[in-house]
């Protein structure tokens, strides 16, 4: 990535995500540069995909409220989990606790996001339980979309 010079590339010249993460989650200016370079492209592609879709579309947008993107969507759902559960899940994905905490600190608190979301879905239980709950919301939203207004 030009915005970061060679600092975030591996020995083969490819993006080293660990190096990039180490820089952007420590230096707010670096994170802003990354977001300025990537977010317009991501949003353009997301809008294109949504425009082509039929039915209810679910988009996972990590910085939805931080970047004031909620108005791009008809309905917002915030998925929350206790801090300890989030840290344990990130650790299982190979992220060190310090790195996970830096990333969490870069986001708005769940309390702030909950006030902005249309619905809050707790995710403290099993994956099966969570997927069942999401399926229920998807079915309800599909029914709402299909009903005459």
3-state SS class at 78? strand
pLDDT at 22 over 90: no
Give the global pTM: 0.79
pLDDT tens for residues 46-68?
Answer: 999 999 998 888 899 989 999 99
What's the rounded Cα separation, in Å, for the pair 117 and 45?
A: 23
pLDDT at 122 over 70: yes
Q: Are strands 77-80 and 119-122 parallel, antiparallel or unpaired?
A: parallel
Residue 11 has what pLDDT? 84
pLDDT at 149 over 80: no
Could you tell me the domains of the chain?
1-53 (no CATH), 57-149 (3.40.50.300)
DSSP 84-125: HHHHHHHHHTT--HHHHHHHHHTS--HHHHHHHSSEEEE--S
């Amino acid at each position: 990535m030009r915005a970061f010079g060679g600092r975030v590339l591996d020995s083969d010249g490819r993006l080293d995500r660990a190096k990039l993460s180490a820089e952007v989650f420590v230096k707010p200016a670096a994170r802003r540069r990354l977001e300025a370079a990537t977010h317009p492209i991501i949003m353009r592609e997301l809008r294109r995909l949504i425009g082509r879709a039929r039915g209810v579309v679910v988009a996972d947008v990590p910085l939805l409220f931080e970047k004031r993107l909620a108005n791009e969507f008809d309905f917002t759902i915030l998925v929350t989990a206790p801090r300890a559960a989030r840290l344990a899940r990130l650790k299982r994905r190979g992220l060190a606790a310090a790195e996970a905490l830096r990333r969490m600190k870069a986001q708005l608190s769940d309390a702030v996001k909950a006030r902005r979301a249309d619905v809050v879905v707790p995710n403290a239980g099993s994956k099966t339980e969570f997927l069942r709950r999401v399926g229920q919301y998807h079915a309800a939203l599909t029914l709402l979309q299909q009903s005459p207004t």
